[in-house]
Amino acid sequence: MIRLALLRIAGALPNLVGVIVITFLLTRALPGDPAAYFAGQSASSEAVEQIRAKLGLDRPMPEQFLGYLRDLAQGNLGESLSTGQSVATEIASRLPASLELTLVALLLAVSIALPLGVMAAVRKGSWIDQFARLVTTAGVSLPVFFTGLLLTWLLYFKLGWAPSPIGRLDPSFSPPAQVTGLYLIDALIARDLPLWWACVKQLVLPAVTMALFVLAPIARMTRASMLAVLSSDFVRTARALGLRGPTVLVRYALRNALLPVVTTLGMVFSFLLGSNVLVEKVFAWPGIGSFAIESLTASDYAPVQGFVLTMGLLYVLLNLAIDLAYLLIDPRVALEA
């Protein structure tokens, strides 16, 4: 297992190098001048040039790139011109918010989509199968920002069931003492159940919004994979030997159907990490995605580069976790690798 993990990490290094080079070049190709933006509209050309020299943007592109690589080697992601803080500090403070939202949404989607896909495969053509198709079609057809606005209008403005969409925590509560950066876990560590419940209430609407959107591919893949496994010879043999239905379904059929489902989960998780910026904007969630968009509109290079590099590292770790999950589900994967 360790050898496989090292091989996957070594294979991902060229991808990370490509991410660094492409991100650096694309940020320089974006329209807009950071020096002119931060100097202000009334600034003179001399003032703009002074800011450009201070930022190092007057140097040749190869020299800027070498300086960027030198900073990366020292763990320095640069400084955000928008906030005046280091990019590493901003990412470290905002990434837990995005991860918490993404993980809760994925957990919610899996808890619904997996049983729904299994039941739709077992009872093919029944009302459960038709209901699963309806849910998955609706989930993938509605834009995520529209679902968020619709749920906010219905559950907050009309019915008053949900709290105000103003971020991770109601202003009447103080954030828990930071241990992991994930409010739900930190509140449990502090044994503060009212605070934990307040965090849950703020998390429900954005998590449901994201879960509805990614529920469709998980349920569809589960149904298709289960249909293929249920028609296989070893399942028919297990049933012919008199094994109980739940044993055949869970121990043999579902376990062998999980590999493509795990692959889909990895793709869905990657998509959620990169695209939850819309949900963060709708619900004023202080995550890394909204920070990257704000920096992009301000032509602030360093946070955008730090965001893309962080996403690249997370994708590498995610792919490694998927490979290790394959080993747990089917040890034969290690032999094939």
Summarised one tens digit per residue, pLDDT across range 119-132 is 888 888 788 888 88
For residues 77 and 305, the answer to whether their CB atoms sit within 8 Å is yes
User: Structurally, how many domains does the chain consist of?
Assistant: 1
Domain assignment of residue 174, given as a range: 87-336
Classify residue 57: in a domain, yes or no. no
For residues 163 and 156, the answer to whether their CB atoms sit within 8 Å is yes
What are φ and ψ of residue 59, in 5° steps?
Answer: -80, 160
Residue 186's CATH number = 1.10.3720.10
Angstrom CA distances, 290 to 39, 55, 205, 330, stand at: 23, 24, 17, 39
**Nearest Cα to 259, choosing from 337, 333, 334, 319?**
333
Average of per-residue pLDDT values in the chain = 79
Q: What pLDDT digit, counting tens, does each position of 235-290 carry?
A: 777 777 777 777 777 777 777 787 788 878 877 887 787 667 888 888 888 888 88
Long-range contacts (CB closer than 8 Å, 24 or more residues apart) made by 229-233: 229/253, 229/254, 229/256, 229/257, 230/121, 230/122, 232/256
Classify residue 3: in a domain, yes or no. no
What is the structure's pLDDT at 196? Answer: 92
Cα 318 vs. chain centroid, distance in angstroms? 10
Classify residue 243: in a domain, yes or no. yes
**Mean per-residue pLDDT pooled into runs of 10, the chain (337 residues):** 68 75 73 64 70 71 80 78 80 88 89 88 84 79 80 85 83 86 90 90 89 85 85 77 74 78 81 77 84 77 81 78 71 54
For residues 147 and 278, the answer to whether their CB atoms sit within 8 Å is no
What is the structure's pLDDT at 335? Answer: 46
Classify residue 18: in a domain, yes or no. no
Classify residue 2: in a domain, yes or no. no
- Residues 6 or more apart whose CB falls under 8 angstroms from that of 265 comprise 106, 110, 218, 322
Classify residue 46: in a domain, yes or no. no
- Using only the alpha carbons of the chain, give its radius of gyration: 24
And the tokens for 179? 């241990």
Q: Kind and range of the H or E element at 189?
A: helix 183-189
Q: At what angle do helices 301-329 and 255-275 cross, to 10 degrees?
A: 170
- Residues 6 or more apart whose CB falls under 8 angstroms from that of 202 comprise 163, 166, 167, 168, 169, 170
For residues 188 and 198, the answer to whether their CB atoms sit within 8 Å is no
Amino acid at 284: A
Classify residue 116: in a domain, yes or no. yes
Mapped onto helix, strand or coil, the DSSP state of residue 79 is strand
| Cα 82 to Cα 291: distance, rounded to the nearest angstrom | 10
Classify residue 242: in a domain, yes or no. yes
Q: What pLDDT digit, counting tens, does each position of 36-47 carry?
A: 666 666 667 777
DSSP 17-54: HHHHHHHHHHHHHSSS-HHHHHH-TT--HHHHHHHHHH
